[in-house]
Structure 1
Amino acid sequence: MAENEEVSGVEIELEHVTKRYPGTRTPAVDDFSMVVPAGKIVVFVGPSGCGKTTTMRMINRLIEPTSGRITIGGDDALKLDVDTLRRRIGYAIQQAGLFPHFTVAQNIAVVPGLLGWDKKKVNDRVEEMMDLVGLDPADFRDRFPRQLSGGQQQRVGVARALAADPPVLLMDEPFGAVDPITRGNLQDELLRLQTELKKTIVFVTHDFDEAVKLGDKIAVLGNQSTILQYDTPEAILANPADDTVAGFVGAGASLKQLTLLRVRDVELQQDALTVTDDETPASVREKLQSSRKHFALVLDARRRPTRWVHVRELTSATSLANLGKPLRDVVSLQSTLQDALEAMLAEGGSVPVTGARGEYAGTIQLDTVIATIQQLREEHTNDEEVPA
C-alpha cells in the first residue's frame, strides 16, 4: 500500500497479555505481545487449541484478559465500557452467526441501530454495504438467512461487521464452513474490500494457505499462543523460523509462491469478444463471425461477466436471455495465481477476470500462469545454487 493512501484502521498493541482460567495449572495464553499495524491484515495461524481464538477475543473482550494491556488506536481497551468497545470493532465468525428471525437488512442494521442512527441513514448504509459485498439490495434485503447460501450468509456477516464503519475487524475462521470454490471467492471479496476500506483486520485460521493468501503479516502460533514466527508471508515461506513453522509451510514451498502473486501482477488478455444482455442474437452472431471466434462473453448491465455463449446457440434464438453456459468460476484482480489455475481447470480454458466492483477486466490464460510457474522454479533453482 502506498504511503499516501488513507488508512481507516488503527494500530492494535497487545503487551504481555495472559489468560488463565480458574482451576487450570497452565495459562491458555501466556505473555503474548504483538503490534498489529494500522490498515493491515494480520493472520493468526496455528493448530486447534493453541489459543489463537482466545487471543483474538481478548481484543474485543469477549474474553477478559487475566493480565496485560491492550490498546486500540492508543486507547486502553480494558478501561473502555465494553459495549462501547465492541461497537468500535467489527466481528465476523464461522457460519456468519446471523439472527435467524431478522431479514438481511435487519441483520446488517443491528449496530447502526444500537448507535442511534436515524432510519434514513441506517437504510442508506444497509444498501451501501450490500452493494459493497456484492448482494443486490432489491433481491436480498428482505430475505431471511435460511433463504441464503452459505457464501451469501458469510457476505451478510461481513456487511454486518462493517456496517458501523469500525476501524478494526476481527474474523474468526469466517470462511471455514463453505465449499472450496465459495471460500476462494469470499477470500477474494475480502481482499477487494480491504483495498477500498483499509481496516485493521485480525483473522484467525488453521489453514496456512489461507494465511498466505490473505495476510500482510502472519503470526504462526504454538501452544499458549507462543509466537513462533511473525513476519510477511514471503519471509515465512522463504525462511521458516524452526521445524514447527516449516511443518506448517509443508511441502512444495516454491509452488506456494503462486499464492503470493496476484492476478493483477500478470498481463491480462483483451481478446475475448464481449457483448451485453440487451444485444440481439443476430448481432452477436455477426460479431463472432467477423472476428472468427466461436464464443462471446456476456456482460450484465454493470459490465459483470455472467456466461459464455457459443455461436451455434444463436442461430434460432430471439433473445440472449438464458442462452449460454453460466460461468462456474470467475477470478478477480485480487485472486492468487493458484486460484486462477484452479479456475482454469474447472472452466477448461481461459477465465474472465473482474475488477474492484465485479466489472470485466480481461481474461487470464493458462500459458501466462505456466510461464510464471516456470520463472518461479528457475528463480528458486538459482537461489539454491548460490553458495552461502
Structure 2
Amino acid sequence: MTDSANRTAAAAVSGVGIVLDAVTKRYPGQQEPAVDAVSMTMPAGEIVVLVGPSGCGKTTTMRMINRLIEPTSGTVTIDGRDAAEIDPDRLRRGIGYSIQQAGLFPHMTVARNIATVPGLIGWDRKRIAARTDEMLELVGLDPGTYRRRYPRQLSGGQQQRVGVARALAADPPILLMDEPFGAVDPITRGLLQDELLRLQAELGKTIVFVTHDFNEAVKLGDRIAVLGDRSRILQYDRPAAILADPADETVAGFAGSDAALKQLTLTRIREVTLGECATVTEDAPVAVARTAIGDGARALVLDTAGRPLRWITTADLAHADSVGGAGTAAETLSAESTLQEGLAALLGDRNATAVVTGPDGKYAGLVTIDTLVGHLAGLRTEPGTGTATDVPA
C-alpha cells in the first residue's frame, strides 16, 4: 500500500464523493469546447490532483464542481446529488475554496476573513469566534498574534495559511484548491504542502487540487489526473502507477526523465525508522551538556517545549557560561517531508544528518543517508512494492 493510501485509510473521512459525467464547457464564439466531456470519479476523503499545462482547462473543470462556471452539458454529482439541482449559493458555502495568493479581503482582519462563510450561513458570534481561533491553531498560527492583523501584515506563507483556514472554517466536506502555493518561494511551498498533508490526515476532506507542477502532484495526490487539451484525461491513477507505467509519451514527459527519483516522493520521513541522538535543553547547565555529549561528536539543544534549536559540541562549550546561544543552527525536516526532500537536506549537511520534527514541531529523531539507503533497499526486496496492482481502488 502506498503512503497516500495509508494516509487516506488513517484519516477519519469527512469528505464526500464527486463524480463528473461527460462534463463539457463551451463558450460562445469558440469552435472548440474549453472542456470536452470529462468523466472521472473522485473518492471521498482523497486528494485528487488535476495537473496539466497552462490553458488546458484544469481550473475550468474544477470551477464547474462548485458552479463558479456553469457546465454547458454533463453532470456533476456531489454525494449522490446533482449539483445543478442545488442552489448555487448554498452549494458554494458548502465547498471550501482556496486560490493562489490566498484571495483574502484586504480591508478585513484575519479573523473577519476566516469568519466570512460561517457568518453567511448564520453562525452566532460566540461560535464564529471559537471557530476562528480553532482554525488559526489548526494551520499553525497563534490566534492572539494573528487574529487582528490585516493581510498586508502577513508573509505570503501566512496569507496562504489564513486562506486555507477560511476555506475550512465552515467545515465543508470538499475543498477546492487552485494552485494555492504557486506564488510563494520553494521553501515555504514545501512547508505549506507538508501542512496540507498534516491537515488532511486529521480531517479526511475530499480535496481537488489544481497545479501545473507534476512534483507537487506526486507529493500531494492520492490520485492524479494528467490532463491534455480541453481537459482530456490522458491518465488517471495513483502516483506510483503513473510513474511506473505512464500511459503515453505526453504523460511520460510530465513524469520526466527522473521518474525513478520521483518515486522517493511517495514515502514520508515518518515511515522511516528514525535514529536518536543526545539531547539537552537550552536551560541546562554547561556541565550537564558536556555529560550529554559524552564520547559523541555533538548533542542537540532543544527549547523548553522540546523543539530543536542548535547542535553543540564540546568545543562550543569550552568557554561558554550557558548552553543558550552556543553551537550552530540545526536544520530540520518535517515528519511529513518526502524521502526526496530528506535526501536533498542530507546532501546539504556536512554530517549527512537531519533532525526530524513531529506535527507539534518537537524533536522526533534523526534521519541519515544510511537510514534512507536501508529503507529503499528494504523496499526493493518486497515483492510487488510500488506497482499499480498494490494500490487499492
TM-score, normalisation: structure 1: 0.90
Residue 359 of structure 1 pairs with residue 365 of structure 2: no
- Which amino acid is the alignment partner of residue 296 of structure 1? L
SS at the partner of 1:59?
A: coil
On the 8 A contact 2:297/2:313 being kept in 1, the answer is no
Residue 332 of structure 1 pairs with residue 334 of structure 2: yes
Counterpart-to-counterpart distance in 2, 1:347 and 1:158: 33
- Which amino acid is the alignment partner of residue 63 of structure 2? R
- Which amino acid is the alignment partner of residue 153 of structure 2? Q
On the 8 A contact 1:254/1:377 being kept in 2, the answer is no
* Match 1:125 to one of 131, 139, 143: 131
On the 8 A contact 2:280/2:299 being kept in 1, the answer is no
Unaligned stretches of 5+ in structure 2?
A: 1-5, 387-393
C-alpha displacement of 1:193: 0.8
Corresponding residue number in structure 2 for 1:80: 86
C-alpha displacement of 1:177: 1.1
Counterpart-to-counterpart distance in 2, 1:344 and 1:100: 40
Residue 70 of structure 1 pairs with residue 72 of structure 2: no
- Identical pairs, percent: 62
Mapping of residues 44-193 of structure 1, within 5 Å: 44-193=50-199
Alpha carbons of structure 1 residues 19 and 369: separation in structure 2 relative to 1, 3 Å = same
Q: May I ask how many residue pairs the two structures share in their alignment?
A: 377
Counterpart-to-counterpart distance in 2, 1:40 and 1:369: 27
On the 8 A contact 1:89/1:166 being kept in 2, the answer is yes
Corresponding residue number in structure 1 for 2:17: 11
Corresponding residue number in structure 2 for 1:274: 279
Counterpart-to-counterpart distance in 1, 2:130 and 2:33: 45
On the 8 A contact 2:286/2:322 being kept in 1, the answer is no
With CA pairs under 8 Å and 6+ residues apart, which has the higher RCO, 1 or 2? 2
* Match 2:300 to one of 286, 296, 299: 296
Which stretch shows the higher mean deviation, 214-223 or 148-157? 148-157
Q: CA deviation digits over 1:272-323, x for unaligned, max 9?
A: 223334x23425523434364423231342x333443444444565665555
Alpha carbons of structure 1 residues 346 and 3: separation in structure 2 relative to 1, 3 Å = closer
Alpha carbons of structure 1 residues 306 and 86: separation in structure 2 relative to 1, 3 Å = farther
On the 8 A contact 1:212/1:260 being kept in 2, the answer is yes
On the 8 A contact 2:290/2:317 being kept in 1, the answer is no
Counterpart-to-counterpart distance in 1, 2:113 and 2:349: 35
Residue 305 of structure 1 pairs with residue 305 of structure 2: no
On the 8 A contact 1:298/1:309 being kept in 2, the answer is no
Alpha carbons of structure 1 residues 345 and 308: separation in structure 2 relative to 1, 3 Å = same
On the 8 A contact 2:50/2:225 being kept in 1, the answer is yes
Q: CA deviation digits over 1:178-210, x for unaligned, max 9?
A: 111111111111111111100000001111111
SS at the partner of 1:61?
A: coil
Counterpart-to-counterpart distance in 2, 1:14 and 1:290: 62
Corresponding residue number in structure 1 for 2:289: 285
SS at the partner of 2:294?
A: helix
- Which amino acid is the alignment partner of residue 177 of structure 1? A
Counterpart-to-counterpart distance in 1, 2:241 and 2:137: 36
Which stretch shows the higher mean deviation, 232-241 or 136-145? 136-145
On the 8 A contact 1:105/1:142 being kept in 2, the answer is yes
Residue 40 of structure 1 pairs with residue 40 of structure 2: no
Corresponding residue number in structure 1 for 2:3: none
On the 8 A contact 1:20/1:26 being kept in 2, the answer is yes
Alpha carbons of structure 1 residues 4 and 138: separation in structure 2 relative to 1, 3 Å = closer
Q: CA deviation digits over 1:333-358, x for unaligned, max 9?
A: 22110011122234443212122333
SS at the partner of 2:193?
A: helix
Corresponding residue number in structure 1 for 2:391: none
- Which amino acid is the alignment partner of residue 358 of structure 2? G
Alpha carbons of structure 1 residues 186 and 327: separation in structure 2 relative to 1, 3 Å = farther
Unaligned stretches of 5+ in structure 1?
A: 384-388
On the 8 A contact 2:278/2:293 being kept in 1, the answer is no
Alpha carbons of structure 1 residues 276 and 114: separation in structure 2 relative to 1, 3 Å = farther
* Match 1:342 to one of 341, 344, 353: 344
